Amino acid sequence: MHPAPSVIIFTTLSGLGFGLLTFLGLGLPDVTGWTAFWFFVIGYVLAVGGLSASAFHLGHPERALKAFTQWKTSWLSREAVTSVAALLTMALYGAGLVFFDTAWQPLGWIGAALSLLTVFTTSMIYTQMKTVPRWHMVWTPAHFLTLSLAGGALLAGQAFASIFLLLLAGMTTVAMWIIGDTRFARSGTDMATATGLGRIGTVKAFEPPHTGTNYLLREFVHVVGRKHGRKLRLIAGLLAFVVPILLMLLLVTHVTAALAILSHVAGVFAARWLFFAEAEHVVGLYYGKR
């Protein structure tokens, strides 16, 4: 899949933002007033910023409101609905904290749940894609959710939780990578089923339908060298999980926490890049490419 910056930014930032909002909704850290205000600002900037980045890859962002209509079937629509619901609920809850020094806790819990649900809906946009076998498994939502929680914990300054969650996220991520590597082969989709010609013999792409490029090739066919992929996974794993965990284990100061966050965010970006770049869409088979 084409690793479009807009989707990478979107999923990374909104994951972090909703992760932070989840913690804020749970009252972790237990803040009010200006402190709460700044926490919420960070949460909203990340979540809303991420969401609006996603609008960049729309052909018609001005029609974005229509995307709220199909929650019965569409995970993207559900994401739209839950994200707005989460943001509104958390806004109310946050208003209580900032302006009234009050935690309307049930609202916070609902907001937290909605935030997490938003992350889940995001993950389901990818998970539902049978066409991308690497994504089409439970490890995808597990990865999205744990990562969001880990990032949220880091941002929320939840040192202990963050170590635990980073570990968990690291594990789901590694599991996602390793299991993901086998998914295409196990999906049952190959040149033979794509063309229906398998019963004659071994099928190879000969001439493509056009010598020029097209939308499909741009969007779905992105070949990352295997070696390159391994190296990037290592970097992503180090930055997103190992470094932050070490920093958080070492000693928690504002500086180390900030470094941990920066490292984590950089690592998540790398992991997200890989999430797309390594994902192979079955349509590539028609072009003899994956």
List of residues contacting another protein (CB under 8 A): 1, 57-61, 63-64, 66-70, 72-77, 80, 125, 128-132, 187-189, 191, 193-197, 199-216, 218-220, 281-283, 286-287
SS in 3 state form for 154-192?
HHCCCHHHHHHHHHHHHHHHHHHHHHHHHHHHHCCCCHH
Query: Shortest approach of another protein to residue 148 CB, angstroms?
Result: 21
Cβ closer to another protein: 27 or 288? 288
Shortest Å, Cβ 78 to another protein: 8
- Residue 229 CB, nearest distance to another protein (Å)? 21
What are 72's two structure tokens?
């019965």
Helix (H) or strand (E) holding 148: helix 139-155
Q: Which is nearer to another protein, 195 or 253 (CB)?
A: 195
CB of 287 to another protein, least distance (A): 8
- Smallest gap from Cβ 212 to another protein, in A, equals 4
For another protein, the closer of residues 41 and 58 by Cβ is 58
Judged by CB, which is closer to another protein: 93, or 280?
280
Least separation in angstroms between residue 132's CB and another protein is: 7
* Cβ pair 269, 13 in contact under 8 A: no
Closest distance to another protein from the beta carbon of 54 (Å) = 8
Residue in this structure with the two tokens 């690793």, named with its chain if needed: 3
The neighbour count for residue 201, using CB atoms within 10 Å, is: 8
Q: What's the gap between Cα 163 and its chain centre?
A: 19
d(CA 247, CA 74): 40
Q: At what angle do helices 5-25 and 75-100 cross, to 10 degrees?
A: 40
- Identify whether the C-beta of residue 247 lies closer than 8 Å to the C-beta of residue 173: no
Per-residue b or e along 55-69, where b marks 16 or more CB atoms closer than 10 Å to that residue's CB: eeeeeeeeeeeebee
The length of the chain in residues reads 290
Nearer to another protein, 109 or 286 (CB): 286
For residues 106 and 201, which CB has a smaller minimum distance to another protein in the complex? 201
218 or 231: whose CB is closer to another protein?
A: 218
